[in-house]
């Protein structure tokens, strides 16, 4: 991967920033890997709409996996850096991007202990991302994984590595695990609402696209969060051909404990069975070539009054846009040819 071009030192700071961002945007991502996956570690990327409950699901899933004797690494790949907050009781986890930058300025080497932390057998870290308007989130993801490789990521002996990605950000960096076969399978988190299923459908489309280019990543299934029993997410799963790995109910006890950064997926808790089953299903679910729906197919999962399917498109007119001035609107000169 080529480094961004350097800008002359006599340029203004704004000009330098503009040129730097243009050079960064011009970098083409590496082509997808076409060889079969060989990693012994199961690397699973979890995608979903922002706020749908990925971090909640992953914190509890990783915790239960660890209690079942698995060695698990949870990596937050969201610029908000909120993936591990529930795992660590609301505490902020230093990010790889910020910490590596500080170490570099200080002339020091970045160590695993600077960015990787653990609780009750779960290992966790946050990639982080740039401040708003000061860089590309996708490039931050790429830089984060390059740093992980320098720290020896490929030699770490984990049973599972869980990657938490935003699904409603479509730039290349967030699609990195799918595009480059960095994971074996993808799990989507959704609910019984159109927006979260739209995002889940986009993820299915992405895996299908890169499979056509020789990739191997597939969708292992969907976790339905805040399930109110209306059934749209389950219907979506059936239509695209993926299993429902777990349905986490819209329960007030879960909501309250999650708001207080409590782990509910622990042995002996009322929800232990739910997350034990989810852990088992995640482990055995194979990567599937999902069949994404078109927009009408997505709308068809919902009642018409829910998605506005009975609304008719009415074309606007010049009078609508210009009012009384529409009569003064001059048409461009047209040349009309006689029929031959």
The CATH number covering residue 120 comes to: 3.40.50.300
Residue 38 CA to its chain's centroid (Å): 23
Q: Is 54 a catalytic residue?
A: yes
Quickly count: other Cβ atoms within 10 Å of residue 61's Cβ: 26
- Residue 243: is its pLDDT beyond 50? yes
Residue 199 domain boundaries: 30-304
Residue 226 included in any domain: yes
- Does the active-site annotation cover 49? yes
Q: Of the given ranges (139-143, 265-269, 308-312), which has the lowest mean pLDDT?
A: 308-312
**How many structural domains does the chain have?**
1
Residue 298 lies in a domain: yes
Q: Tell me the per-residue pLDDT of 71-115, one tens digit each, with 9 for 90 and over.
A: 999 998 877 777 889 899 988 889 998 899 899 899 999 999 999
- Rounded to a whole number of angstroms, the CA Rg of the chain reads 24
pLDDT at 125 over 70: yes
Given the residues 49, 185, 239, 257, the one annotated as active site: 49
Task: Count CA atoms within 13 Å of residue 309 on its CB side.
Answer: 14
Q: Confirm whether 133 is domain-assigned.
A: yes
Could you tell me if residue 20 is inside a domain?
no
Give domain status of residue 11, yes or no: no
Residue 132, number of CB atoms within 10 A of its CB: 8
Does residue 1 surpass a pLDDT of 50? no
Residues of the chain with pLDDT > 70, as a percent, come to 81
Q: In which order are the strands placed within the sheet that holds 244-249?
A: 117-119, 122-126, 72-76, 160-166, 42-48, 185-190, 218-227, 244-249
Of the residues 70, 168, 251, 291, which is catalytic? 168
Question: CA distances (Å), 253 to each of 85, 266, 306, 308, in order?
Answer: 19, 15, 28, 33
Which residues does residue 48 pair with via DSSP β-bridges, in sequence order? 166, 189
Given 54, 226, 239, 257, the catalytic residue: 54
Tell whether 10 is covered by a domain.
no
Task: Quickly state the pLDDT bin for 255 (edges 50, 70, 90).
Answer: very high
Which of these is catalytic: 71, 80, 118, 291?
Answer: 80
């Amino acid at each position: 991967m080529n480094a961004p071009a350097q800008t002359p030192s006599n340029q203004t700071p704004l000009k330098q920033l503009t040129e730097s961002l243009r050079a960064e945007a011009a970098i083409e991502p590496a082509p997808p890997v076409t060889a079969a996956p060989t990693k012994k570690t199961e690397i699973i990327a979890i995608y979903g709409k922002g706020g749908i409950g990925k971090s909640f699901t992953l914190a509890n899933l990783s915790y239960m996996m660890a209690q079942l004797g698995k060695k698990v690494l949870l990596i937050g790949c969201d610029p908000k850096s909120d993936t591990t907050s529930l795992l660590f009781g609301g505490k902020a986890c230093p990010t790889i991007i910020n910490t590596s930058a500080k170490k570099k300025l200080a002339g020091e080497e970045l160590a695993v202990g600077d960015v990787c932390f653990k609780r009750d057998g779960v290992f966790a870290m946050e990639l982080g991302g740039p401040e708003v308007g000061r860089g590309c989130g996708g490039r931050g993801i790429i830089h984060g994984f390059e740093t992980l490789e320098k720290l020896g990521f490929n030699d770490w002996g984990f049973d599972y590595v869980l990657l938490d990605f935003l699904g409603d950000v479509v730039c290349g960096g967030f699609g990195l695990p799918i595009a480059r076969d960095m994971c074996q399978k993808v799990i989507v988190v959704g609910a019984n609402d159109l927006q979260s299923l739209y995002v889940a459908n986009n993820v299915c489309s992405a895996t299908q696209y890169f499979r056509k280019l020789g990739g191997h990543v597939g969708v292992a299934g969907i976790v339905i969060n805040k399930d109110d029993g209306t059934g749209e997410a389950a219907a979506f799963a059936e239509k695209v051909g993926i299993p429902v790995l777990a349905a986490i109910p819209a329960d007030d006890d879960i909501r309250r404990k999650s708001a207080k950064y409590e782990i509910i997926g622990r042995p002996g808790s009322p929800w232990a069975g739910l997350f034990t089953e989810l852990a088992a299903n995640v482990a055995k679910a194979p990567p599937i070539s999902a069949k994404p729906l078109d927009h009408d197919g997505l709308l068809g999962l919902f009642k018409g009054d829910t998605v506005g399917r009975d609304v008719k498109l009415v074309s606007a007119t010049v009078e609508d846009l210009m009012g009384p001035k529409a009569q003064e609107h001059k048409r461009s000169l047209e040349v009309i040819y006689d029929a031959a």
